[in-house]
């Protein structure tokens, strides 16, 4: 186990030095029980004490600073070894602050071995005015591995009437299952451009979420897909796509934060009917 820290920033002042932070976690079996067999982190990342809830080992990622500033380079690497069951969540949203000069970036890697379970369920990313942020995510699930990955994006700080005000977001996602790439997508644009597109579809304040579920337990004939599609409404658009035999993509576009949160909760609960690990309580800290 390796742990290292550096001076923490208490505010998003431009004079604060950038971070080159990382969080590397690996869950494995010891004595037949899931535990963190490897953990290494550097500020701004920190993790709360993990605990076994009867289904999965829960770990919370904590950002000990105000948020992401220009120059920050963050690296996240999470692995679930064969037989392990791991849930990783965040207790607070990720905020990318004003970046008058420079950019910030985060790389995320998730690996799931055969017979392992991994759920990643963070709070949304909030891009502030003039931010320029890149996030690159790669997911690799081996044959027989199971995963539920969620990613959410806010239009900005709606409470402060600061939406669609970021300079640039580059968000890429690549998912591989059993060694085959089954999804590759990229969002690259300025806030006002995405805002105009959302307005064309009748959502001046649109919140986005992507859920990727991979498991041999999930079948095309399952009634749960009809239940998820039935969540679709004028205030919350919901779509389901089958990526391959064992992998599914659920896309959600909601007209507000609470609508997004409620819908994601319902999607998770419906999937939990076939994936027992999703019956764990995300709200427990």
Q: Is residue 16 part of a domain?
A: no
- Helix H or strand E encompassing 211: strand 207-214
Look at residue 160 in the predicted model and tell me its pLDDT. Answer: 81
CA distances from 280 to 29, 57, 270 (A): 19, 10, 13
Look at residue 15 in the predicted model and tell me its pLDDT. Answer: 54
Residue 180 has pLDDT above 50, yes or no: yes
Contact predicate 272/280, CB 8 Å: no
pTM for the whole structure? 0.92
Q: Is residue 30 part of a domain?
A: yes
What is the average pLDDT across 145-166?
Answer: 93
What is the average pLDDT across 127-140?
Answer: 97
Q: Which 3 state secondary structure label does DSSP give 231?
A: coil
Look at residue 2 in the predicted model and tell me its pLDDT. Answer: 39
Q: Give how many domains the chain has, as a whole number.
A: 1
Look at residue 62 in the predicted model and tell me its pLDDT. Answer: 86
Q: Is residue 28 part of a domain?
A: yes
Q: Is residue 14 part of a domain?
A: no
Look at residue 88 in the predicted model and tell me its pLDDT. Answer: 97
* Cα 219–chain centre separation: 24
Task: Give the confidence band of 143 by pLDDT, cuts at 50, 70, 90.
Answer: very high
CA–CA distance, 129 with 155 (Å, rounded to integer): 10
Q: Is residue 206 part of a domain?
A: yes
Task: Give the confidence band of 9 by pLDDT, cuts at 50, 70, 90.
Answer: low
Residue 172 has pLDDT above 60, yes or no: yes
Look at residue 64 in the predicted model and tell me its pLDDT. Answer: 67
Q: Is residue 15 part of a domain?
A: no
Look at residue 12 in the predicted model and tell me its pLDDT. Answer: 47
Domain of residue 81, residue span: 21-276
Residue 4 has pLDDT above 50, yes or no: no
Look at residue 158 in the predicted model and tell me its pLDDT. Answer: 81
Q: Is residue 10 part of a domain?
A: no
Q: Is residue 48 part of a domain?
A: yes
- In angstroms, the first-to-last Cα distance of the chain is 23
């Amino acid at each position: 186990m390796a742990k290292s820290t550096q001076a923490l920033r208490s505010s998003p002042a431009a004079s604060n030095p950038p971070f080159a932070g990382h969080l590397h976690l690996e869950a494995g079996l010891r004595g037949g029980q899931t535990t963190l067999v490897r953990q290494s982190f550097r500020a701004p990342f920190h993790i709360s004490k993990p605990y076994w809830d009867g289904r999965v080992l829960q770990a919370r990622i904590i950002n000990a600073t105000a948020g992401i500033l220009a120059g920050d380079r963050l690296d996240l690497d999470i692995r679930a070894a064969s037989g392990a069951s791991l849930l990783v969540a965040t207790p607070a949203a990720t905020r990318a602050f004003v970046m008058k000069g420079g950019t910030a970036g985060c790389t995320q890697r998730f690996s799931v071995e055969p017979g392992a379970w991994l759920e990643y369920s963070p709070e949304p990313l909030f891009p502030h005015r003039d931010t320029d942020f890149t996030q690159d995510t790669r997911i690799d699930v081996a044959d027989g591995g199971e995963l539920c990955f969620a990613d959410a994006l806010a239009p900005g700080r709606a409470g402060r009437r600061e939406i669609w005000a970021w300079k640039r977001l580059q968000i890429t996602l690549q998912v591989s299952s059993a060694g085959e790439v089954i999804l590759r997508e990229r969002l690259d644009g300025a806030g006002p451009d995405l805002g105009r597109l959302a307005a064309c579809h009748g959502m001046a304040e649109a919140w986005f979420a992507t859920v990727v579920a991979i498991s041999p337990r999930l079948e095309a004939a399952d009634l749960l897909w009809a239940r998820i599609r039935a969540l679709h409404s004028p205030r919350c658009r919901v779509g389901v796509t089958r990526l391959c035999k064992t992998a599914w993509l659920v896309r959600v576009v909601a007209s507000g934060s609470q609508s997004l949160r409620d819908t994601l909760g319902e999607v998770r609960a419906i999937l939990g009917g076939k994936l027992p690990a999703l019956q764990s309580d995300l709200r427990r800290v």
